[in-house]
DNA sequence: TTCTATATAATAATGATTATCATTTACAAT
DNA sequence: ATTGTAAATGATAATCATTATTATATAGAA
């Protein structure tokens, strides 16, 4: 996941694009909101406009480089598309997000779609609750 | 589902509240956006302000009379809470929404939550695609 | 019927996101 | 390397869904 991916998406390789991709790639955290990315870059002294952040995120999403999620609430979050589909568990207190994948659920979704004559293109499964272990 | 439900929610029984509840109850369609409800009422010559629609929907959601969904896109949709949990299949072309329930998926979610020390409070599963049968 | 807390409707405000547009830049062709 | 040009940027205005404000109206208890 580097500059060549930006190029392959038919986009020019620019500072904001490189930096946004790098942030998503190298960060501990997996999920970022647009505003969050904006402030993160500013704090690294990378000057960028908020409009550019939104524009680039939209382009990256269209290009399949990143995935956009619409969890509860208003603002969307983005994560790098590492190719491995997964669903999410969201802690409603701390906001912490962890990922999981379950083959049984994936299979059942396909079966259910078929039963209904539905051509399944994508899905979104999110569990909301609270992590009980400390930390 | 009638005026007594409004009263039990600690809310006064007013025209807008009665009409919004009636619309969700008696309509063919199950899912409505706020703006959609607003225009539906106006078309029935029921005068109401958009702010009231939003306020009442928020109150009804808090009271558990209705459920709020955040499907893809920006605007939320609401449906009457008939007590039977279900997930959704959304046709990305026509916007048609149908509901389904699958015990296997429900069970797996609980197991997965337990495995992760996660206290599951709610979840959202939506399949996006297209219905292939003519409809 | 009266009283008062609550609800309403019009409108202003908000917050996230998108559009506009003048300036700048990536990069292909010279 | 220099240039030309389409694409990208950033500042800001606009938009869209939703929420807050507030003066007026009303539900429902007394």
| Interval A5-12 mean pLDDT | 95
Cβ contact B122–A132 (<8 Å): no
| Interval A59-83 mean pLDDT | 92
In B47-104, the DSSP E strands lie at: 66-69, 77-80, 87-91, 97-100
CA A92 from chain centre, in angstroms, equals: 18
Q: Which pLDDT value is given to residue B71?
A: 87
Q: Give yes or no for B108 touching A (CB within 8 A).
A: yes
| Strand C contact nucleotides, protein CB < 7 Å | 6-12, 15-20, 25-27
Q: State which protein residues have CB closer than 7 Å to strand D.
A: A 11-12, 14-17, 47-52, 55-56; B 7, 12-15, 33-35, 50-51, 54, 58, 74-76
Question: Per DSSP, what are the bridge partners of residue A91?
Answer: A129
Query: Does the pLDDT at position A21 exceed 70?
Result: yes
Sorted by where each starts, the structural domains of chain B and their CATH numbers stand as 3-80 (1.10.10.10), 87-129 (3.30.1490.190)
Task: List the single range of A50-54, A90-94, B51-55, B99-103 with lowest mean pLDDT.
Answer: A90-94
| Interval A110-114 mean pLDDT | 98
Query: Does the pLDDT at position B5 exceed 80?
Result: yes
Q: Residue A81: which residues within 8 A CB-CB, separation 6 or more?
A: A64, A65, A66, A67
Mutant choice from A98, A121, A127, A130 vs B, greatest count of B C-beta within 10 A: A127
Cβ contact A121–B72 (<8 Å): no
- Alpha-carbon distance of A118 to A110, in angstroms, equals 9
- Alpha-carbon distance of B105 to B30, in angstroms, equals 23
Query: Does the pLDDT at position A16 exceed 60?
Result: yes
The residue that minimises its CA distance to C1' of D12 is: A51
Q: Which pLDDT value is given to residue A134?
A: 61
Q: Give yes or no for B125 touching A (CB within 8 A).
A: yes
Residue B2 in contact with residue B22, Cβ under 8 Å? no
Coil, strand or helix at A43: helix
Q: Give yes or no for A110 touching B (CB within 8 A).
A: no
- Alpha-carbon distance of A133 to B8, in angstroms, equals 37
The reply to whether the predicted model has a pTM over 0.95 is no
Distance B12 CA to C1 C1' (A): 20
Q: Sheet harboring A118-131: ordered strands across?
A: A97-100, A87-91, A118-131, B118-131, B87-91, B97-100
Q: Which pLDDT value is given to residue A7?
A: 95
Cβ contact B129–A112 (<8 Å): no
Q: Give yes or no for A119 touching B (CB within 8 A).
A: yes
Residue A85 in contact with residue A101, Cβ under 8 Å? yes
- Alpha-carbon distance of B105 to B15, in angstroms, equals 40
| Interval A22-38 mean pLDDT | 95
């Amino acid at each position: 996941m580097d500059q060549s991916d930006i190029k392959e998406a038919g986009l020019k390789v620019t500072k904001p694009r490189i930096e946004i991709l790098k942030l998503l790639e190298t960060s501990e955290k997996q999920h970022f909101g647009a505003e969050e990315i904006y402030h993160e870059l500013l704090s690294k002294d990378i000057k960028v406009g908020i409009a550019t952040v939104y524009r680039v995120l939209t382009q990256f999403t269209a290009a399949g480089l990143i995935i956009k999620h619409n969890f509860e609430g208003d603002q969307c979050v983005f994560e790098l598309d590492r190719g491995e589909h997964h669903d999410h568990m969201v802690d409603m207190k701390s906001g912490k997000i962890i990922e999981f994948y379950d083959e049984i659920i994936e299979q059942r979704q396909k079966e259910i779609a078929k039963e209904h004559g539905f051509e399944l293109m994508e899905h979104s499964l999110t569990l909301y609750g609270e992590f009980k272990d400390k930390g």
